[in-house]
Every structure is written in C-alpha cells, then in structure tokens.
Chain A
Amino acid sequence: MPELAGKELRIVGFLCNWCSYGGADTAGVGRFKQPTDLRIIRVPCSGRIDPLFVVKALINGADGVLVSGCHPRDCHYSDGNYYARRRLEMLKQFLPFMGIDGKRFHYTWVSASEGQRWQKVVTDFTRQVHGIGPLHEKKEAAK
C-alpha cells in the first residue's frame, strides 16, 4: 500500500548524508512537525544524485521529488554539491520538455543544524506539490 488515498501524495527525497539527512534528523529530534508525504533516500553526497534518479522516480509514480544537500562551500566532499547544482538546474529546465511541471521538482541546501529550516522546506514543498495535484492516474481510484 503506497500513499494513503486522498490524504497524501508520493514525494521522494534524496538527501546527502552529512548535511541534509542530519538536518532532517535534527528536525526530528526537535519534534518539528512536518507533513508525512515525504519518503527519504539517503545518499552520501548530493553530487551522487544522477538526474536520472529524479526522472525515474517521477515516471514510476512519484508526484514530486525533493533534493537537498550541503550549502555551497560547506560540502563534506569539497565540491560535490557544485556538480549537483549544475546537473539539477539543467534537469529543472528540462523537465517541462518531458511534460512534467517543473514545480514537482525542487533542490535546496539544508545544513545538519538547520532543523527548523528543514521543517519549512518539507512543508512548503509538500504544499506546492499538493497545489499541482497527483501526476499519475491512480490505480487505487479504479478499485
């Protein structure tokens, strides 16, 4: 059973281990309440994220994809997030050509200490995706 019909959409998040995954942990430790739609995949660095992962997620059933890494200049691996920024910006420009609303994809930077910022990022993006609605015809609806 995936997202609960009517209540949630399917949002996949790719988070770098050192900053944003830690930031999401910090948000959890601080009990900063967030919408539950997001499912998080941990990667070592935002530079590890192949734009194809994002496209695959969107094509296979996700309604939105969120990517978050270390702030520029603060990358655990010196400059992995610079590579991420170039690739993901390209991807963002490219998504409409595939018939996918660019607003379904967002990339940002959250450090391990920014629990509150993480809460805001998740809340805002979830609201944004809900604003556009589901990307896929739901099989469950037919049931």
Chain B
Amino acid sequence: MSDDPDKVWPTGLTLKEAEEVHSYLIDGTRVFGAIALLAHVLVAVSTPWLG
C-alpha cells in the first residue's frame, strides 16, 4: 500500500473518499425521508390520527 499523503488517519480515507461515502449516506437519507413523508401523508389521510 503506497504511502498516499492524502490519506488521513485514523481511518486512512482521503478527503475525497470521505466525501464520496458521505454523499451516498446523504442521498440514502433523502430517499428514506421521501418514503417516510409519503407514509405519513397516507396515515394522516386514512387513519384517525389527525381527526
């Protein structure tokens, strides 16, 4: 494993790799949020939750 100066410890990822991982996590969270929003709308419409 060549000693890459961009690697940052303790994880050994480069900042670019960290941002890539993070972007996937952010996108996943957005998809989760959209699905949850749809679920809440359906529950609000079809149950006595909001009267």
Chains A and B bind each other: no
Residues of B in contact with A (beta carbons under 8 Å apart): none
